[in-house]
Structure 1
Amino acid sequence: MTDKVSAEVGGPVKVDAAFDAVKSACSIRCIEVVRMEEPRPTILAVELTGATRKWHLYIDCDEARLRLPWVATQPPTSPLAHVSYSGAVCIDDGQGLSLDPSRPAEIVAHAALKAYNLLEKSAADAASGYVEFFNELEGYWLHLPGSLRSRAYFEVDGKSRMVKGFVNSRLKTPNWYFAEPDADQPWDVRQEKLAGQRALYVHLGALELPPAKPDKLTPAFIEAVNQRLTLEQLKLWDQLLGPSKNSPKTLALLVSVPRQAGGLSLVAAVFGARAGGIDKSAPVTPLTMRRHAPHYMRERGGASLELFGKHVAVLGAGAVGCVVVDTLAAAGVGKLTVVDYDEYSADNVFRHLLEPLYIDTPKPFGLNFALERRYPGLRITPVTSTAQEWWKTADLRHYDGIVFAFGAPSVERSFSRVLKGRQHDIPVVFTWLEAMDLGGHSVLMWTKGEGCLDCAYRDDEGLPSQASRTSFLEPNQPVTRNLTGCAGAFVPFGPIQARKTGLLAAEHLLSVMTSVAAGDEAPKPSYRFWAGDGTAATEHGLRTAPWFQTARTTSFEEATRMVFGRPCRHCRTPKDPSA
């Protein structure tokens, strides 16, 4: 932080003023507080008397990053929830907490009382079985002496089994990786060409307490885990140790235990083995696991687990289509088929999500490589052909939705007609972008029932029209530009417009996939759009249709009735002559 900014927020708080604020706050709650000798000039040391013990708190009064200050206590003789091995107390800013930098002493007092409350609860938890501590086991394990950060690429599901471990010892701090034996090796492992070795994952109902400072993890902890193994787990243990030989081995043991708060805690350790047993003379290294399994990362990152089993086809992987693909993947859709015959070119760079290194690569292959690395568990099937070629062998039973994003009205209308009346009912989205800064559209229909893209191609009297009534532009206007001649003609629009339209279409599809699957609504057609300000279009002399202005004050529901209020002849349900 610069001196100027530091001066604006009041500079480091005075320790004396902080103590006065702590004392005042404690007096309200009748908490006895005694000031202790400070270890450093900027640290406030106080003793607060709790229900079962006196808590020594050390609070950093030099916090200048507009967050709650660091608080520590003396490392407990037995582990406590929310207290690290070294004694740091895990307080956080709280949801929505805003700190006033002009009141630094009160911030310190707030942190002190927050730590005190947490410690009192942690002491009660220790007296009643360490339930909360084991909810927070992974955080404590992280700070054990010598702990190495490692990655688990397999699902922590409570099913004990052998896994494969890899260690990169060439790094300054060794890294461990764990994956299923028959799964594709993680990219890090392939890149470094690491050799695999045996590792065991077991799930237990409970676990011994890890060491408290100054003790370290020892072979006794491994022995304690071994004593808790079932007969089936002991068979796996024998596989881990392998044939009885005198040569020493380095093995990895991963253990999960239930969290009362939900889910499983996962910890691990590397230990030595010799002559078919645990080598009690070899060191034990704790491993702090970072989970890279698809289901966990989806749940942790806010993606939908329900969408993981869904399969969506996206036809067109240009500026709009690539945003649709990326958004569906980020939302949690597990399988995507991407269809586009075009190659990625330099002309696309500023309107596309792919990096320039994919230039001259077919767009579906570029998205396949880029997004499968970005979203674990995602599977993309790249198809480098026209939509018409793809359709010849497509089986709708394998798809949960389709998005057409190539902005070719004639082709899209023909697909709308071909798809209508299919036995397998799925949602189909047609999305396109208007020129310049006019806006974008998303029309959704179902393969069964009334409502189709042709419904938009009628005039106010309901008669068929060559122009869509959803168009923001008057018909028969040239909108393409070129910078290098006819071969380089293009429709002018920017990346922001493309991304807004891609997001609109992806959200449109996702909303009906989830709501219909949940039974919240019945399958029905709908129309969504966004209208820009049209300044650039006006400057280029383009004339807008009346709908462009009307759309600004029209809801999606009203627009949907405008387009689909009366089914067209292509989707209208035939009347029963006997009725």
Structure 2
Amino acid sequence: MTSKQRTFIADVNHALVSIGALDIDFKVVKTKPVWTFSITDELSCWPLELHPCDWGIQTLPDIKWKSAVQFWGWPHISIGGDICVSDSEGLEYDPDDVLGVLKWLVEKATKQLRENHAMDENARLTLFADEVEGYAKNAGATSVELGEALDPQKTLYAEVYRKDKGLKATSVVKRVNTGTTKLENCQQERIGLLDVRLNQLPSLDKELNANWWADFLGRLNEPQHSQATSKEFNGLMLRIPNAYGYALILIYWGKTPQSKSWRAVVHVPQRRDHDYLVRRTGAAPLTQHVVIVGLGSIGSRVAEHLVLAGIRKLTLIDEDIFSADNLGRHILAQDSIGERKVDAVANQLRNRMPGVEINPIAKNVLISFASNLPTDASAIVLATGNAALERSIVRDAFCKNWPQQIISTSVEAGGLGGHAIAMRSDTAGCLDCLYIDPETQAATAEMRTSLIESGQIISRQLTGCGAFTPYSSIDATRTALLASDLVLSGRIVYSRWAGDGELAHREGIATSHTYRALRDLRIPSTLKPEEFAQAGCPCCGE
């Protein structure tokens, strides 16, 4: 044993004594240190076990409740007694403070045990339903793919692969579907969908026997019992209500008859449906429809952010082809070179977030809007990089009183910053207002809030006449976040950000008064419509 290990043992022993632990015992199990001890409080004596991951606490040690029985229905307690006191994300502590860390850990663990002990069974099961899938995985249940939302009106099937082991064949569930897909070398076997409450479910393990099945059937009402014992099914998908909608547990018995020899395997479906994935992010699925015009580095990122934030329906408009020159700052990769941007982005988003509805339109936006303006859209994002085109669209929107929120977004060269202006035809303050001198009300050739001093050529060339504007993928992302936030919040404001300008300085690009004022915090980065609207604006003014 090394001196470091001996020091660690002494530190942990001292810490446990300091926090009042009794019956302290130390041993080494498979080269890892393990302590058993007990903590006594006014309710009970809690036998605990401490499992550091190594000879130190750089990783938070595991702590277990030692008991002669498996645990079922106690929130944050696994089948083997592991007490979940933290998911370790965002947890900060001094790795040399053994006493402080163990004191906190033991206090959190015993607090969890006391709270569970004080609850009545219904309250415990209500909380436990939120984590029953994780409990089943911890007990040894294997995962199976479930690529679509459950539909009670559709028949469920397990895709089963059979492995021959001598005279015995083993069935392995690979995926669950509604009959629309089939894996190679797999058979489709019908399974039932049964809604149950957690108090109807006996303790789960990775395998179940006839005694478990009899106990389960005895807890069901007559319709549930009839469905569970139907000879049509080779398994059951149990749907258990919880705070996030429901948990899913698959019990598969295959061809095994429901008799004394009955055996079943427990699986946890890995869901990929839209609502489930969005809720896992902490967001809520959003039914609104957003149109994005321009699928370059900004527009493609706006589409990605909105889909991941829960937007279910997008219309994408762009007639350009994705080229190798776009790789440096676009969300698409080499396998999309030569494809239309709208089609490639649509496919990527469908693959990224199942269940979204993406309508790609590979044509000029003016032609598209003239023939079919999406009337059900709540927002239209203009990310074309063409100010004249976007001003024309905005004027049409104000003239014809489009009800949608309209957002024009653009990035400036050299990492200087980006803009996102949200408008609505019933509110003064539009894109044209940024091209009007506030003092004279005369039109200006360039946007008066530009971050670049006027009169400069900012495009660059690598070969021939292939001009490009120098800015990074990070600049595009920051700008796309501004636009995405305006869509999700529905706010009508003008937002901008100003970067450090190092690239602009290297490129010899001079900055404007607005840029310097933003960097010095002398002017706000967000303006309300009344703060930038111009009375003489021919688009939105009186």
SS at match of 1:165: strand
* Structure 1 position 53, deviation (Å): 5.6
Confirm or deny that 1:291 pairs with 2:255: no
> In structure 2, what is the equivalent of residue 148 of structure 1?
142
> In structure 2, what is the equivalent of residue 29 of structure 1?
none
* Structure 1 position 384, deviation (Å): 1.2
Pick closer, same or farther for the CA change 1:11–1:401 going to 2, 3 Å.
farther
Pick closer, same or farther for the CA change 1:51–1:370 going to 2, 3 Å.
same
Amino acid at match of 2:368: W
Q: Report if aligned partners of 2:39, 2:48 keep a CA contact under 8 Å in 1.
A: yes
Pick one of 6, 23, 48 that aligns with 1:57: 48
> In structure 1, what is the equivalent of residue 156 of structure 2?
163
* Structure 1 position 299, deviation (Å): 0.8
Write out per-residue CA displacement over residues 520-553 of structure 1, whole angstroms, 9 at most, x where no aligned residue.
xxxxx42111122334334434343333323332
Q: Report if aligned partners of 1:15, 1:44 keep a CA contact under 8 Å in 2.
A: no
Amino acid at match of 2:533: F
Question: Structure 2 stretches of 5 or more lacking a match?
Answer: 165-169
Confirm or deny that 1:315 pairs with 2:315: no
Confirm or deny that 1:371 pairs with 2:360: no
Pick closer, same or farther for the CA change 1:60–1:551 going to 2, 3 Å.
closer
> In structure 1, what is the equivalent of residue 461 of structure 2?
482
SS at match of 2:190: strand
* Structure 1 position 149, deviation (Å): 1.5
SS at match of 1:241: coil
* Structure 1 position 197, deviation (Å): 2.4
Q: Report if aligned partners of 2:79, 2:138 keep a CA contact under 8 Å in 1.
A: yes
Pick closer, same or farther for the CA change 1:107–1:174 going to 2, 3 Å.
farther
What is the CA–CA distance in structure 2 between the aligned matches of 1:357 and 1:472, rounded to whole Å? 35
> In structure 2, what is the equivalent of residue 465 of structure 1?
444
* Structure 1 position 559, deviation (Å): 7.2
Q: Report if aligned partners of 2:323, 2:337 keep a CA contact under 8 Å in 1.
A: yes
What is the CA–CA distance in structure 1 between the aligned matches of 2:534 and 2:525, rounded to whole Å? 13
Pick closer, same or farther for the CA change 1:287–1:44 going to 2, 3 Å.
same
> In structure 2, what is the equivalent of residue 529 of structure 1?
496
Aligned ranges 1:107-186 → 2 under 5 Å: 107-125=101-119, 130-131=124-125, 132-145=127-140, 147-155=141-149, 162-167=155-160, 174=172, 176-181=174-179, 185=181
What is the CA–CA distance in structure 2 between the aligned matches of 1:262 and 1:535, rounded to whole Å? 46
SS at match of 2:234: strand
Write out per-residue CA displacement over residues 446-489 of structure 1, whole angstroms, 9 at most, x where no aligned residue.
13343322111112311122322122234443222222211x12
Which structure has more strand as a fraction of its residues? 2
How many correspondences in the alignment?
A: 527
Percent same amino acid at aligned positions? 26
SS at match of 2:539: coil
> In structure 1, what is the equivalent of residue 97 of structure 2?
103
Q: Report if aligned partners of 1:156, 1:264 keep a CA contact under 8 Å in 2.
A: no
Q: Report if aligned partners of 2:410, 2:479 keep a CA contact under 8 Å in 1.
A: yes
- The alignment yields a C-alpha RMSD, in angstroms, of 3.4
SS at match of 1:352: coil
Write out per-residue CA displacement over residues 97-138 of structure 1, whole angstroms, 9 at most, x where no aligned residue.
432222224433433343333334444457778535445432
Write out per-residue CA displacement over residues 343-389 of structure 1, whole angstroms, 9 at most, x where no aligned residue.
11110101101111111111111111111111122221111111122
* Structure 1 position 492, deviation (Å): 2.1
> In structure 2, what is the equivalent of residue 205 of structure 1?
197
Pick closer, same or farther for the CA change 1:414–1:408 going to 2, 3 Å.
same
Deviates more, 1:12-21 or 1:311-320: 12-21
Deviates more, 1:349-358 or 1:416-425: 416-425
> In structure 2, what is the equivalent of residue 521 of structure 1?
none
Pick closer, same or farther for the CA change 1:298–1:252 going to 2, 3 Å.
same
Pick closer, same or farther for the CA change 1:128–1:37 going to 2, 3 Å.
farther
* Structure 1 position 206, deviation (Å): 4.1
Pick one of 509, 513, 530 that aligns with 1:542: 509
Q: Report if aligned partners of 1:12, 1:64 keep a CA contact under 8 Å in 2.
A: no
> In structure 2, what is the equivalent of residue 577 of structure 1?
none
Pick one of 257, 261, 279 that aligns with 1:281: 261
What is the CA–CA distance in structure 2 between the aligned matches of 1:508 and 1:169, rounded to whole Å? 52
What is the CA–CA distance in structure 1 between the aligned matches of 2:153 and 2:118, rounded to whole Å? 33
> In structure 2, what is the equivalent of residue 403 of structure 1?
381
Write out per-residue CA displacement over residues 223-245 of structure 1, whole angstroms, 9 at most, x where no aligned residue.
4444455555466547x522xxx
* Structure 1 position 425, deviation (Å): 0.9
Write out per-residue CA displacement over residues 3-45 of structure 1, whole angstroms, 9 at most, x where no aligned residue.
xxx99xx76863344233223212xxxxx72224646472111
Q: Report if aligned partners of 1:38, 1:44 keep a CA contact under 8 Å in 2.
A: yes
Confirm or deny that 1:48 pairs with 2:33: no
* Structure 1 position 173, deviation (Å): 11
Amino acid at match of 2:24: R
Aligned ranges 1:431-442 → 2 under 5 Å: 431-442=409-420
Amino acid at match of 1:91: V
Pick closer, same or farther for the CA change 1:38–1:160 going to 2, 3 Å.
farther
Normalising by structure 1, report the TM-score.
0.81
Normalising by structure 2, report the TM-score.
0.86
Write out per-residue CA displacement over residues 127-158 of structure 1, whole angstroms, 9 at most, x where no aligned residue.
7785354454323222335x21223344469x
Amino acid at match of 1:143: N
Q: Report if aligned partners of 1:339, 1:387 keep a CA contact under 8 Å in 2.
A: yes
